[in-house]
Structure 1
């Protein structure tokens, strides 16, 4: 479901506070505010967290500062003047917002904007900011998909244990998710094409790529952006991210790696040269991975006589070796399994830019990546394409 959300640009590191930082100004009004009301503005400049405050005077408040590229920010309304630290303790007791939290998430950019708060900050009106207008437009276009995604998620949660372990049910759900993702990509692609100079288009490109971006899809869209946007800090960071993705793009030579198998023996990917090999990233703690494993087992048994094998790479922790070994046994994973037991710091996963699991890469006998991120029927279709029908 993460692919169907609208995340902040996943390919970007924390943006630097560049030399082109310029001033921003926020002027706002709060209806029915008393003398105790305070407003807090929270945002990041590079790796630095900034928390600013403004007292509401005669219904007015204001903020000033400087940013280079646009940044995400949150405006909190504190009508009881608790002070920011106590406001956080009261309204975010477990690190998540409670029903009493009143905040507005928006984009902070250079220039002047106005914010009008009536009943709550969360429902405030923002004017004078093209960037926030663009964001509102895109969110509106994606709203119908969000509702569809909620309905599919609810259906999955209601499934019985038997259904959850059923290949037919899993393939059905995967088909529904794929349909939504196709709709999402169409909306995002159209937005980028019609807003080549909007910073929201960079964020749209990140959502378009999802946790397993394909540089062959993303690069043409990135190249269609305006020169100003591509030269921004965010644009340059995305370009660097795209260049990094080319290492594991379809058609590229698969990077070699070596990790220990369950007996502590080093195993290299290159040792499988001459066969089709599916490099399968998973973990014992990963629910979707475990649900997909029966399908992978079935297809391994179907094609293992056709010059095909699988190399499993686990993202288990160094304290989770027993769980890893138990999952291999319980799920019937009879192919070679390796891991450095470093969780998300698994060197092979980092080399292949794995951001979520399950993830996989199909590599041909010459060592080239021919397909990736195949699940359910898609994996069977790809194997049939390259190995022949059985």
Structure 2
């Protein structure tokens, strides 16, 4: 389901909000699996968590290695993002006891560190009557600094992506920042896979409106979905991550799964790549390029098209694909491939494609009836710009 699933750790001191974030992520169960690290330790450690806490450091390390083995087995089987809430260290009377092991360093793709003001953490700890969290303000402050500095060191040494999330923000803002980071990391992972494939040239092709005249939503005959998506984007002055998040939330939680499936099936039956684009893509493939379709909609709809891309990236729903493709995603993908010394040609038809077109070596602006002058103005400084008019079909 998820093109490039990631092994994700959410770290932070007690009371910072790890549980709140993981609970919010559980609603994306089609693309994300959430595990509480403490519960796994309780399961794999002989005697459970209570006995584990009294074990020696060596015995604890063995249990933690067993926990990582369990995480890896779940990750392979689930084929979606695996999110684990854990601790780097624990506060002791005489300092800190590290929970991080070499197995953690070998396992994680990315770590998110939740940081919050010590005062807010103390208030949360004092109000949480279900757990004994008798910490002072100074202890919390020192603990956060220790964990952040330690994670910076181990993540740098093991090439693990590390991001700090502001726990003082609203839960909604933290969730949105998490999704934005994850989407970017998926794009980075895909770009590396393309670069490592041995190709010298890459074709990045927007799908809707570029491969044919239509947007994927236009193949769905129940108007409210199309109208609602359009209305969401119109609430913002320009494309932005929050707009795409709002569309994703609408598709994930306001539209039933059978309805989404029907929309994709209707589109799959109706999609027809324009003859101009079909000839162009076939020639580029014959010339040795890898063909990548990049969709802000539903990439599954393009699996049955007349031309099969080598890679399909999407889409409009984080809940379905574990990645949101936005205008910034397309730009990032093109820039990463250029930076890895691949020759990049890009095809697009709208403002969401302008960034991708501008950073590519060769830009192809595709239009049907007439050229949008605003788009051309934003592309006028490109040194290798080509205009392609779609034939009427």
Q: TM-score, normalised by structure 1?
A: 0.28
Higher relative contact order (CA 8 A, sep 6+): 2
Q: TM-score, normalised by structure 2?
A: 0.28
Q: Which of the pair is proportionally richer in strand?
A: 1
Q: Which of the pair is proportionally richer in helix?
A: 2
